[in-house]
């Protein structure tokens, strides 16, 4: 009888330990899920904030290109004026052409 009781208690302890192992596995699984959710929350950025940042970057780039275009237009106007003046000087004094172009 002792063996039966011993066998019965051993069977209960194995089933209890199996239940404990299952509970631990479930807890670990739930903890992993929670960590993934927290990571996702950290990575999750609102659509409005993202679109605002995108528009801001595009606006800054457009402003840079517009400013460089305007500067280049004024530069090209000055170069054109100097070129026409240089052409006039060379046409009037062809002997000094090499000096003027240097």
pLDDT in tens, 25-50: 888 887 777 766 666 566 666 788 88
User: For residue 72, what are its two tokens?
Assistant: 């280049």
Which pLDDT score is estimated for 39? 61
Give the predicted TM-score (pTM) of the model.
0.40
Which pLDDT score is estimated for 44? 63
Q: How confident is the model at residue 59 (pLDDT cuts 50, 70, 90)?
A: very high
In tens, the pLDDT along 83-96 reads 888 888 778 777 77
- Checking if the pLDDT of 61 tops 50, the result is yes
Q: How confident is the model at residue 14 (pLDDT cuts 50, 70, 90)?
A: low
Domain boundaries, the chain: 1-44, 45-102
> 98 to each of 39, 43, 81, 88, 101, how far by Cα in Å?
71, 66, 20, 14, 5
Of the chain, the end-to-end C-alpha distance in Å amounts to 119
Cα 14–chain centre separation: 53
């Amino acid at each position: 009888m002792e063996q039966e009781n011993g066998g019965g208690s051993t069977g209960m302890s194995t089933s209890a330990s199996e239940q404990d192992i299952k509970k631990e596995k479930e807890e670990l699984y739930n903890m992993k899920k929670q960590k993934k959710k927290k990571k996702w929350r950290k990575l999750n950025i609102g659509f409005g904030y993202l679109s605002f940042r995108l528009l801001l970057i595009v606006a800054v780039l457009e402003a840079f290109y517009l400013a460089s275009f305007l500067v280049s237009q004024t530069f090209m106007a000055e170069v054109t004026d100097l070129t026409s003046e240089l052409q006039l000087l060379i046409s009037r004094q062809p002997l000094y052409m090499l000096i003027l172009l240097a």
